[in-house]
Amino acid sequence: MIRRYDFGSPIHTGAVVRELAVENAAVPFFATEVQEGRVSFTIHMDVDDLVFGLGESLRGINKRGHLYRAWNSDDFSHTENKASIYASHNLLLFSGREKLFGVYFDDPGAMEFDLGYTRGDTAVITSENGDLSVYIIEADSLTAICKEFRGLIGRSYLPPKWAFGYIQSRWGYSSDPEVRNVVKEHRDRHIPLDGVCMDIDYMEDFKDFTWNKKSFPDLRKFNADMRADHIRLIPIIDAGVKQLKGYDTCDVGLKKDYFVKKADGKPFVGAVWPGRSYFPDFLREDVRTWFGGEYSKLMDEGIEGFWNDMNEPALFYSEESIAEAFAVADKLRNENLDIHSAFALKDAFNGTANNMEDYRRFYHEVDGQTIRHDKIHNLYGAYMTRAAAEGFRRYDSSKRFLLFSRASFVGAHRYGGVWQGDNSSWWSHIKLNLQMLPSLNMCGFLYSGADLGGFSCNTTEDLMLRWLQLGVFSPLMRNHSADHTREQEVYRFANWEDMRDILTVRYGLLPYLYSEFMKAALSDGMYFRPLAFDYPTDDVACRVEDQVMLGSDCMIAPVYEQNARGRHVYLPEDMLMVRFRSATDYDLTPMEAGHYWIELALNEMPLFIRRGHVVPLAKPAEYVEGIDFTDLRLLGWLDEGVTTTLYNDDGQTTEPVLESGLTTITVTVEGENVNARGEGLTLNVDDVIVGE
């Protein structure tokens, strides 16, 4: 059951697709206070209460005990003290002995979530603008609450099947021969690969929808050659449009008045990669239609996927803020800089980036109303994603395209996926990566992943390998790193063969992972869940922060510490451990519920399959199109027969129907004798273990 409560004059965010009548009563569960335009919601938390949600945000799966702020921010340093990153996913789930409900705050402006930070037993959620709708969601389990919520916000984005392949990316790839070489290094060593991302250096002077004709002289042919090798090129698009006469996107945008404006009616100028830039008003439908259509300039060359960046929007400076900084500098130029003035000078320039003052300098048109940017800040990236997705649909409505964004808001989950932004090559970020995945799923963002190996800082070969072992399971499996950091394509490392072998596990499991993803997407379910969702009465499971459930049959528990030769794992029920070294080299250990220390050499990764379930494994391939989805080996620990279903489709149908993609697999057990059949499938049961 979902009930809606309104405060102030809620701005239409597009997050919700089901129109609900507004309740007249007070919001249940919370004490509400309206003060100076702000609205706050206070709730007492019992000692045992758990708090989940907030999608892409820092810290743990259980969000209790800290402060979070909904304010989409370009922040490349994901440390524990940060309250905001790129997304605002304002869903919370409260679960305890006396409580079980979800609450969604549909507010496009700044919000604060004090979840036991100021007082350990109290959560205070504050809307700074006070214009919002609050949805209270009740059902009999956390999983059911999320399903209800997903019904409210609409079906998740469906990527094409090839987007589940391994993708190599790096900021710095800047020419056709360079990218070809990256592909060749993979293919020569039989390292699986399905895509290469092209970062900003493919563009001509960082201009959206252009490419550098010197370094990419024939993009169409280049792309065609790549396609023949089962590789997709995935270019980046930034939110800011370079200010330049004669640059088509800029000229048209100015002529048609498509950019956000200041109070004086002049277009706002902020700087990003190309220097001074304009920012499309993605909240306007006509602007979305135009900008979404611009992607066709690259699609006409054969491109089938994009990533949208810098759409918080990130601002290096504005004309105004840089002028103020120079004024400070001029004033201090001949001074003897002491502790105060020296820092004032530095701060004057550092403070120009992503400055709150700048976010108050420009306006949007929303449904005929003029709204200052800061009131709707958190929608900007989501509407850029929407613009792109709608453009793709107009371009070819019969085909799924790959799209993932950095900034997002609930609602954008219908249009694209997200990557987790500029993480670092730190061990703690493997764990952070794991913790964000189920939270993102709660909010509908199923297609997601982090920069494997880490974006900032220099990676190491053991970190790369351990991170890939988690990446095997994330729908977006992309190795990405920043310019000037250590090169981290897997072939750069002495132990590349171990990395290749781990990648074969991804391709071997892909029929299963794709099936579980599509089942979740088409039924408003979750691909990743915290253990608390599946074992709500198990107090240990409810607080596990470094293991998550995957699909209906599995649990994962990656190693995320350097020099570790294993890890502690808690099994809430009997499970079969599959310890993979590759898709063809693994061992099976049936394990009863309980606590274990599991030995895991650097080249080994575990998958836990619930007793009574089977998981299919295909023969490894070097690209998704090469996987035989019909020739499968079943892994499992059974006491009796079981039936399961496997979803598959052509990988690009835009309106797939769950039922028509399902094949039933029936496993029978008679004594030691196991048999399995499924229409059109060749099934091997040598790895199904029976009984004790």
Among 107, 128, 131, 199, binds ligand MIG (CB under 6 A): 199
Q: Which 450-509 positions form the footprint of ligand MIG (CB under 6 A)?
A: 480
DSSP string, 145-194: HHHHHHHHH-PPP---GGGGSEEE--TT--SHHHHHHHHHHHHHTT----
> Cβ of residue 175: shortest distance to ligand MIG, in angstroms?
16
Q: Examine residue 313 and say whether the peptide bond preceding it is cis (omega within 30 degrees of 0).
A: yes
Strand order in the sheet with 38-44: 31-35, 38-44, 122-127, 111-115, 66-70
Q: Please name every residue paired with 614 in a beta bridge, in sequence order, or none if there are none.
A: 636
CA 316 – CA 117 distance, rounded (Å): 31
Among 236, 446, 559, 615, binds ligand MIG (CB under 6 A): 236
User: Which of 130/274 has CB closer to ligand MIG?
Assistant: 274
Pull the structure tokens for residue 320.
Answer: 């105004």
Q: Of how many residues is the chain composed? A: 692
What residue ranges in 431-529 does DSSP mark as E strands? 448-449, 451-452, 477-479, 528-529
User: Which of 90/456 has CB closer to ligand MIG?
Assistant: 456
> Cβ of residue 68: shortest distance to ligand MIG, in angstroms?
20
> Cβ of residue 314: shortest distance to ligand MIG, in angstroms?
6
Cα of first residue to Cα of last residue in the chain, in angstroms, is 43
Among 104, 171, 259, 306, binds ligand MIG (CB under 6 A): 171
> Cβ of residue 406: shortest distance to ligand MIG, in angstroms?
5
237 binds ligand MIG (CB under 6 A): no
> Cβ of residue 312: shortest distance to ligand MIG, in angstroms?
10
CA 521 – CA 91 distance, rounded (Å): 18
User: Which of 199/498 has CB closer to ligand MIG?
Assistant: 199
200 binds ligand MIG (CB under 6 A): yes
> Cβ of residue 458: shortest distance to ligand MIG, in angstroms?
16
309 binds ligand MIG (CB under 6 A): yes
User: Which of 73/156 has CB closer to ligand MIG?
Assistant: 73
> Cβ of residue 607: shortest distance to ligand MIG, in angstroms?
29
> Cβ of residue 349: shortest distance to ligand MIG, in angstroms?
17
Phi, psi of 248 (to 5 degrees): -50, -50
Pull the structure tokens for residue 333.
Answer: 């130029």
> Cβ of residue 166: shortest distance to ligand MIG, in angstroms?
17
Phi, psi of 247 (to 5 degrees): -95, 115
CA 123 – CA 138 distance, rounded (Å): 19
Pull the structure tokens for residue 220.
Answer: 């169409």
Which DSSP state fits 251? H
User: Which of 78/373 has CB closer to ligand MIG?
Assistant: 78
Count of residues touching ligand MIG (by CB under 6 A): 10
78 binds ligand MIG (CB under 6 A): no
User: Which of 199/501 has CB closer to ligand MIG?
Assistant: 199
User: Which of 268/404 has CB closer to ligand MIG?
Assistant: 404
- Which residue in the shown chain puts its C-beta closest to ligand MIG? 171
User: Which of 170/361 has CB closer to ligand MIG?
Assistant: 170
Among 165, 292, 305, 421, binds ligand MIG (CB under 6 A): 421
Number of C-beta neighbours around residue 34 at 10 A: 12
Give the x/- contact pattern for ligand MIG in 88-107, rule: CB under 6 A: --------------------
422 binds ligand MIG (CB under 6 A): yes
Using alpha carbons, list the distances in angstroms from residue 76 to 143, 270, 298, 640. 32, 19, 28, 51
Pull the structure tokens for residue 217.
Answer: 């002289």
Largest distance between two CA atoms of the chain: 91
User: Which of 194/422 has CB closer to ligand MIG?
Assistant: 422
CA 399 – CA 305 distance, rounded (Å): 11
> Cβ of residue 484: shortest distance to ligand MIG, in angstroms?
11
Pick from 579, 597, 563, 554: which is nearest to 466 by CA? Answer: 563
DSSP β-ladder status, 631-638 and 682-690: parallel
* Interaction site with ligand MIG (CB under 6 A): 171, 199-200, 236, 309-310, 406, 421-422, 480
